[in-house]
Amino acid sequence: MHIVRSIDEMQQWSANERNLGKTIGFVPTMGALHNGHSELFGRSVLEHDRTVVSIFVNALQFNNSADLEAYPRQLEKDIVIAEETNVDALFVPSHDEMYPPNFSSTISAGDIAAHMEGLHRPGHFDGVATVVVKLLNAVSPDAAYFGIKDFQQVAVIRQVVRDLNIACQIVSVPTVREADGLALSSRNVRLTSEDRQEAVQIYRLLRELATLSLETPTSSADIKKAFITRLESSSNGIVEYVEVVDSQNLRPTITATTDSTICVAVWFGDVRLIDNISIDSSPS
């Protein structure tokens, strides 16, 4: 596996592979790799001649400096995981490489980023959009892979790539979960043992509410109320938001339908977890 630390070297590596007629799949990450990331890597390896993974903790998308400092970093372990999953190149730029002195250009993600994560994390999606475009320009992949756990992020990236005419397919991959249903996340390691046990209720409740919505027309307001009441009465979790949105344009819906997705963010102590479920998917 080739480890690349500069943008110029990454661009040259990709250009060389393209000159050889190779297709390139790309998975951008912030490191602290887990089985969810490995699923993305495997999908890219299956579908492309070469797979590039980036590891970069992007300061621009953190609106909380404490969260940035607490974000887990384990580069040596990540290198082993990438090698074991047949990644061809690992792009590990420094902050100064990505954002050199006098860097001043950012991308506004627009209205699709204005609620849910965007409302509670001001500037977050502008940071995401900016770094993803920079990474795509460095790697020049045919396709980039993202986990659907970050439902709004995938929608934002799709729009940015479309709006800026970037020649890259954005592929969403289903959420990878623990056996008890908790969505895999690099932040899970920061949960206390008690909070870890209680966090499984997030997806359990999402499944129950999705099933209810499939069986009978249910208002978005009722879904929000039910999720908050049941989660907070049975765990230490504090709900930051529950939104029922159109699965395509992410606009809030009045009634949950098979075209809707339920998105949530929940705090357990100082750990923030997000999850979602599309009502048209099997909640089993």
As annotated, the active-site residues are: 37
Q: DSSP assignment, residue 248?
A: T
Q: 3-class DSSP state for residue 114?
A: coil
Degrees to nearest 5, angle at CA 259 with 258 and 261: 95
CA 211, 216, 218, 222 dihedral sign is negative
**Can you tell me whether residue 106 is helix, strand or coil?**
coil
Query: CA–CA separation, 231 vs 208, rounded Å?
Result: 12
Asked if residue 157 lies in contact with residue 113, where contact means CB atoms within 8 angstroms, the answer is: no
Give me the helices (H) in the chain, please: 7-19, 35-47, 65-70, 75-84, 95-98, 117-120, 124-139, 151-163, 193-199, 201-215, 220-234
Residue 269 CA, distance from chain mean position: 21
Both tokens of 109, joined, read 């993600």
CB contact set of 99 (below 8 Å; sequence gap of 6+): 59, 60
Contacts of 135 (CB under 8 A, 6+ apart): 26, 28, 54, 56, 91
User: How many Å apart are CA 131 and CA 125, to the nearest integer?
Assistant: 10
Q: What is the C-alpha R_g of the chain?
A: 19
